[in-house]
């Protein structure tokens, strides 16, 4: 049943081209219906799954010659991310309600991207997972290159090339693993059982891990992220930071760590260190940015650092914290980019914090200000929001294994407070126009429209989600934690997973 999330998305993307070329409302409605259907299917599937272990959805022979199968399956981790994708898709469409230029193509590419993402989260055959992973690259390129803002063609090409290089590295590792295992299969569960020689794992693990981690924003391969997120249109930024970066982290967990546990043991310290560098570096650089979207872009790098740190802790609490952080950051990044991109940029036509300083946005768009404050609190890790639970678990897990890194990561949280408050203050709550020399005299009647209903719905949905999970994380954790008990993680258990 969960497979329908994929099919509905691709079908709707194709159906977009049956609409009239200048149809806007039709395209929006079709996209929203498809995204809502996907979310509904995801939720129903999650309820049905209810904490069971690995459940196969579909298993058909695909390419017998090499042993690839059309194998879709799910466990708690996949479910969490499928629901995140559904939420991000719906809210992204709501925040893109105002796209006027080539609307149906926008939503076609958007839905194709969503379909590819669903596919990655549900695939348990390595070739199939890779196929969906690469399918997602091309819509991203076009979304940014056509509907993006500053420097969009450069940003789109950079993002596409980085993603493709990452997936090429993954493919290299997968081909090597397939050949070395001698098993004529790409089934993840089967390959996870195979004892790859340690010398092989020592180079295969970093290859595949870095390949996926490029997309997850591992420092120092993260530079595509801020550029790409800033150039992308709002919905694409929300998807990119919210979901696509999680594709990379999911790949790290699902493929690299599951297949090569001994390699992981050898490289843990290195990647744990890089993750923490990412946390602190992302936060520090975010603190100096003039462009509002770059602030959020670098903060995404910082938050993804927590995910990667959690993955390296090799304790159930750290790993489940990492998965929860994937979900939580997906929601929060969606909120942040929604406010910055849709609510502020589309109206003020500037993302420069110094220019925004004079415009008293807390007066002219109070809803946006409140939303951003709430989102900022969540991003900082304020208890009551999902970010706190996730980051706490990651830090506890990290303290058990790399105490020094945990302390540095904690510093990263404090820096998070700093850059968030700076951005909030500059953009929304700074002094009167007269205080800032050279500030643009922005009146109320800027032609600004009030915050529209779709934006309000989108924001409320996301805020509610982060609050609910922050106050009652048990619902998600009941799915996530038992997944680590499945036989898929036996190799990791031998490697020290508690």
Partner 1 sequence: MSVDYLGLLKLFLPECAVVLTALVILFADLRWWQALPVLQRSRGAAWLMTVGLLGAAAVALLGEKSADLLGGTLVLSSASQHVKVVLLLLAVVTAWLCTEGEFTKHVGEFMALIALATTGMMFLVSTENLLMVFVALELVSLSLYVMTAFNKRSPRSAEAALKYFLFGGMAAAFTLFGFSFLYGLTGSIHLPTIASKLAGHATDPLALAAIVLVVAGFGFKIAAVPFHLWAPDAYEGAPAPAAAFIASGSKVASFFILAKLLQTGLAGAEGSGAWKAFAPGWTAVIALLAAASMIFGNLAALAQTKLRRLLAYSAVAHAGYALLALIGGSQPALLYYVVTYAVTSVGAFGVLAVVEHRTGREDFGSLAGLRERSPLLAAGLTVFMLSLAGIPPLAGFFGKFYVFVAAAKQGPDLGYWWLVALALAMSCVSLFYYLQVLKQVWVAPREESAPTFAGEKAVAALIALLAGAVVVLGCAPEWLIQWLR
By CB under 8 A, name the binding residues for partner 1.
61-66, 127, 130-132, 134-135, 137-138, 141-142, 145-146, 153, 157, 160-161, 164-165, 168-169, 171-172, 175-176, 178-180
**In the complex with partner 1, which residue's Cβ is closer, 17 or 472?**
17
- CB neighbours of 175 closer than 8 A, spacing ≥ 6? none
Establish how many alpha carbons lie within 13 A of residue 480's alpha carbon, considering only the half-sphere containing its beta carbon.
Answer: 25
69 phi, psi to nearest 5 deg: -125, 155
CB 138, min distance to partner 1, A: 6
CB 161, min distance to partner 1, A: 6
CB 384 within 8 A of CB 458: no
**In the complex with partner 1, which residue's Cβ is closer, 3 or 287?**
3
CB 24, min distance to partner 1, A: 17
**In the complex with partner 1, which residue's Cβ is closer, 7 or 367?**
7
The span from the CA of 131 to the CA of 151, in Å, is: 29
Per DSSP, the three-state class of 70 is: strand
Calculated CA dihedral for residues 21, 23, 28, 29, nearest 10 degrees? -120
**In the complex with partner 1, which residue's Cβ is closer, 224 or 372?**
224
- CB neighbours of 345 closer than 8 A, spacing ≥ 6? 149, 234, 292, 293, 351
**In the complex with partner 1, which residue's Cβ is closer, 114 or 377?**
114
Question: Of the candidates 310, 170, 174, which has an alpha carbon nearest to the alpha carbon of residue 248?
Answer: 170
Q: Which helix (H) or strand (E) holds 16?
A: none
CB 71, min distance to partner 1, A: 15
**In the complex with partner 1, which residue's Cβ is closer, 47 or 179?**
179
CB 171, min distance to partner 1, A: 6
Q: First-to-last CA distance in the chain?
A: 33
Q: Could you count the other beta carbons within 10 Å of the beta carbon of residue 65?
A: 6
The span from the CA of 284 to the CA of 416, in Å, is: 8
CB 337, min distance to partner 1, A: 22
CB 240 within 8 A of CB 140: yes
CB 398, min distance to partner 1, A: 34
Specify which residues 70 forms β-bridges with. Answer: 60
Q: Tokens for 450?
A: 């009030």
**In the complex with partner 1, which residue's Cβ is closer, 116 or 272?**
116
**In the complex with partner 1, which residue's Cβ is closer, 186 or 399?**
186
CB 125, min distance to partner 1, A: 13
Q: Tokens for 257?
A: 């760590």
Please state the three-class secondary structure of 120-137 as a single string. HHHECEHHHHHHHHHHCH
């Amino acid at each position: 049943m969960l497979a329908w999330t994929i099919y509905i998305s691709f079908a709707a993307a194709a159906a977009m081209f049956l609409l009239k070329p200048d149809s806007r409302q039709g395209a929006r409605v079709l996209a929203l219906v498809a995204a809502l259907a996907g979310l509904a299917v995801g939720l129903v599937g999650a309820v049905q799954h209810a904490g069971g272990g690995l459940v196969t959805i579909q298993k058909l022979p695909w390419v017998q010659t090499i042993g690839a199968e059309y194998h879709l399956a799910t466990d708690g981790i996949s479910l969490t991310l499928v629901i995140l994708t559904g939420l991000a898709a719906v809210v992204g469409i709501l925040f893109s309600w105002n796209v006027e230029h080539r609307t149906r193509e926008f939503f076609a590419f958007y839905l194709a991207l969503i379909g590819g993402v669903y596919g990655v989260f549900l695939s348990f055959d390595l070739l199939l997972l890779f196929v969906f992973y690469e399918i997602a690259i091309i819509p991203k390129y076009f979304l940014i290159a056509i509907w993006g803002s500053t420097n969009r063609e450069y940003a789109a090409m950079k993002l596409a090339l980085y993603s493709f290089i990452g997936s090429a590295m993954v493919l290299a590792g997968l081909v090597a693993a397939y050949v070395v295992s001698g098993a004529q299969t790409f089934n993840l569960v089967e390959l996870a059982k195979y004892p790859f020689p340690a010398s092989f794992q020592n180079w295969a693990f970093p290859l595949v891990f870095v390949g996926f981690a490029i997309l997850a924003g591992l420092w120092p391969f993260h530079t595509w992220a801020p550029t790409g997120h800033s150039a992308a249109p709002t919905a694409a930024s929300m998807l990119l930071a919210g979901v696509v970066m999680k594709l990379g982290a999911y790949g790290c967990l699902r493929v690299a760590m599951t297949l090569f546990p001994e390699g992981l043991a050898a490289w843990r310290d290195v990647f744990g260190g890089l993750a923490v560098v990412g946390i602190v570096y992302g936060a520090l650089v975010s603190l100096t940015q003039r462009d509002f979207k770059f602030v959020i872009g670098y903060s995404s790098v910082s938050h993804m650092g927590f995910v990667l740190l959690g993955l390296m802790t090799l304790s159930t609490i750290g790993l489940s914290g990492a998965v929860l952080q994937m979900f939580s950051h997906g929601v929060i990044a969606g909120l942040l980019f929604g406010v910055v991109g849709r609510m502020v940029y589309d109206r003020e036509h500037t993302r420069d914090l110094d220019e925004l300083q004079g415009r008293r946005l807390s007066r002219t768009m109070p809803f946006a200000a409140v939303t951003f404050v709430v989102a900022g609190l969540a991003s900082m890790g304020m208890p009551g929001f999902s970010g706190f639970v996730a980051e706490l678990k990651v830090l506890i897990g990290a303290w058990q294994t790399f105490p020094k890194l945990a302390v540095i990561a904690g510093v990263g949280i404090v820096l998070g407070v700093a850059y968030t408050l700076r951005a909030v203050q500059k953009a929304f709550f700074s002094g009167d126009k007269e205080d800032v020399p050279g500030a643009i005299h922005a009146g109320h009647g800027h032609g600004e429209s009030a915050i529209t209903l779709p934006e309000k719905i989108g924001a409320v949905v996301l805020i509610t989600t982060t609050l609910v999970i922050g106050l009652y994380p048990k619902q998600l954790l009941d799915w996530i934690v038992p997944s680590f008990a499945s036989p898929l993680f036996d190799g990791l258990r031998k490697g020290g997973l508690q």
